[in-house]
Each structure stands twice: as C-alpha cells, then as structure tokens.
Amino acid sequence: MDQTQTQIPIPNPPRAITTKDLMYLKDALSWELLAFKKFHSLAQNAENPTFKQALDKAGRMHQNHFNRLLPHLQVNNNQAMANIPSPSQVN
C-alpha cells in the first residue's frame, strides 16, 4: 500500500459532528421531546394508578434520552474542526 494513502487513526474521535449528524440529532431530540410530552399528558389524564405509573416511567425515559442527546449539540463545532489534522499535517 502506498504511504500517501495510509491514514493514521485518530486516538480520540473529535467532538466535531457533520451536518448530516447534526440534522439527525435535532430530529432525535424532537422525537424524544414529543414522546415525553405525550406520555406526560397521558399520565396526567390516567385514572388507573398502574397505567399512570407506567406512562410516567415511559415519559421519564424519553426525557432522559433527550437530556443525554442535548450535550452532543452543545459543541463549538468550528473549534473542534480546527483541532482535526488535515492530510498535509499528518505526513
């Protein structure tokens, strides 16, 4: 294999995300928020305590997913991209 085509693996993945990844994360956040709101509303209106508890638990799960996804969007992408070596810097 030619030396110019060999890629050196990055030891730690950069915190930068692609535009496609950003759009996916935004969609996922929207889905999780909507699911949380729906389960919360259903739990508020449920009369059966068992159903109410199950709906509330499902809502909290989606809220937790939302909270776990959110930090991935709170990244200075320009700064992260600046720290990625360009192919000319690797050689």
Contacts of residue 58, defined as CB under 8 A and 6 or more positions apart, other chains included, come to 35, 39
Does 89 have pLDDT greater than 60? no
Arithmetic mean of pLDDT, 81-87:
67
Mean pLDDT value across the chain: 82
Count the neighbouring beta carbons within 10 Å of the beta carbon of residue 62: 19
Q: Radius of gyration over alpha carbons of the chain, in Å?
A: 21
Contacts of residue 65, defined as CB under 8 A and 6 or more positions apart, other chains included, come to 28, 32
Q: 74, 91, 77, 59: which is closest to 19 by C-alpha? A: 77
Whether residue 28 is contained in a domain is answered as: yes
pTM above 0.85, yes or no: no
Domain that holds residue 68: 16-85
| Number of domains present in the structure of the chain | 1
Whether residue 45 is contained in a domain is answered as: yes
| Residue 81: pLDDT band with limits 50, 70, 90 | low
Whether residue 37 is contained in a domain is answered as: yes
Q: Residues 9, 84: contact at Cβ < 8 Å?
A: no
Mind listing the pLDDT tens digit for each residue in 32-51? 999 999 999 999 999 999 99
